[in-house]
């Protein structure tokens, strides 16, 4: 799946990028992940890609296709913006499929089996669990500040109060991480996540994996062959 994502983000053709997006949607349907959840997660990446779509037509030189007052939109800029937008959306959807169709711990342990260092995998795993905990602690700090009449303003006092709140959060996190470490050590943790017997891939798994590789290569082949696809 990573190979397919790489293949899509390196495409230079609008037609192929559209095909990449269609393939991503295909995987999304097959994965049976909640569309609502995917739409929610897509919100921020789309907001990130949107400026490319809106700004590039006016900043890239080329054949003018429309003009707005003294600004003119170029064909090349519009196509480039659209290309970036399509590739970005396709990659984010594929990432959702990768992350959403099995428990995060399975994905993380699979990364380890693929050669990602154990310490990095542990950081992913524990961060995933604890980022939420930190968020809760920060919200409770903000609630407690509001309960005591604090109102956010654009002044140095607000900056100081926020700095103190984040500082306190870091200190609490340090104390919590020490307690968590104790809790892990008390259950036999020795710095390494235990090996779980790897599930063997059967013929059907191999066929699915090969089909994804085939799609990744197929998307690249027109470019390699020098065929023009816009």
Partner 1 sequence: MEYAVEVEGLCYSYPGGDMALQDVTFRLRQGGSLGLLGPNGAGKSTLLLHLNGLLVGTGSVRILGRRVVKENLNWVRKRVGMVFQDPEDQLIMPSLWEDVAFGPRNLGLDEHEVEKDALWALQATGMADLAQRSPRSLSFGQKKRAALATALSMRPKILVLDEPTSNLDPRSKRDVVALMKSLKESGTTIILSTHDVNLVPLLADEVLLLNRVVVAMGGAQEILSERKLLEEQGLEMPLYAGLFEELRSEGRYSGQMPFTCEQAKSAILRASNWKK
Contacting residues toward partner 1, per CB under 8 A? 103-105, 125-126, 128-130, 132-133, 176, 179-180, 182-190, 194, 196-197
DSSP assignment letter at 155:
S
Please, which residue, 63 or 132, has the CB nearer to partner 1? 132
Please, which residue, 129 or 208, has the CB nearer to partner 1? 129
Please, which residue, 171 or 185, has the CB nearer to partner 1? 185
Cα 140 to Cα 146: distance, rounded to the nearest angstrom? 10
16 near 230, Cβ under 8 Å? no
Least distance in Å: CB of 39 to partner 1? 21
Cα 69 to Cα 75: distance, rounded to the nearest angstrom? 17
Cα 93 to Cα 21: distance, rounded to the nearest angstrom? 8
Least distance in Å: CB of 91 to partner 1? 23
Least distance in Å: CB of 186 to partner 1? 4
Please, which residue, 75 or 172, has the CB nearer to partner 1? 172
Cα Rg of the chain (Å, integer): 24
How many C-beta atoms lie closer than 10 Å to residue 64's C-beta? 13
Q: Residue 64 belongs to what H/E stretch?
A: strand 64-68
Please, which residue, 133 or 168, has the CB nearer to partner 1? 133
Please, which residue, 72 or 173, has the CB nearer to partner 1? 173
- Whole-number Cα distances in Å, 80 to 51, 75, 85, 104: 12, 9, 9, 34
Closest CA to 110 of 92, 124, 96: 124
Least distance in Å: CB of 30 to partner 1? 21
What spatial distance separates the first Cα and last Cα of the chain, rounded to whole Å?
A: 25
Closest CA to 24 of 217, 215, 223, 220: 215
Least distance in Å: CB of 106 to partner 1? 9
Least distance in Å: CB of 3 to partner 1? 25
């Amino acid at each position: 799946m990573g190979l397919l994502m790489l293949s899509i983000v390196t495409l230079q053709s609008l037609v192929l990028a559209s095909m990449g997006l269609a393939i991503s949607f295909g995987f999304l349907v097959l994965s049976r992940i909640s569309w609502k959840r995917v739409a929610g997660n897509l919100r921020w990446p789309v907001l990130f890609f949107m400026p490319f779509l809106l700004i590039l037509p006016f900043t890239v030189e080329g054949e003018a296709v429309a003009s707005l007052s003294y600004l003119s939109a170029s064909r090349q800029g519009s196509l480039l913006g659209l290309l970036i937008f399509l590739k970005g959306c396709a990659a984010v959807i594929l990432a959702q499929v990768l992350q959403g169709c099995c428990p995060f711990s399975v994905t993380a342990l699979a990364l380890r089996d693929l050669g990602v260092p154990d310490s990095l995998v542990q950081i992913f795993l524990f961060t995933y669990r604890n980022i939420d905990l930190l968020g809760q602690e920060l919200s409770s700090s903000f609630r407690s500040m509001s309960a005591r009449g604090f109102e956010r303003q654009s002044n140095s006092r607000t900056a100081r109060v926020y700095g103190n709140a984040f500082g306190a959060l870091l200190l609490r996190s340090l104390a919590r991480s020490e307690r968590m470490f104790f809790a892990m050590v008390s259950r036999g943790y020795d710095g390494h996540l235990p090996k779980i017997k790897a599930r063997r891939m059967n013929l059907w798994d191999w066929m699915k994996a090969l089909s994804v590789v085939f799609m990744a290569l197929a998307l690249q082949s027109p470019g390699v062959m020098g065929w023009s696809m816009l």
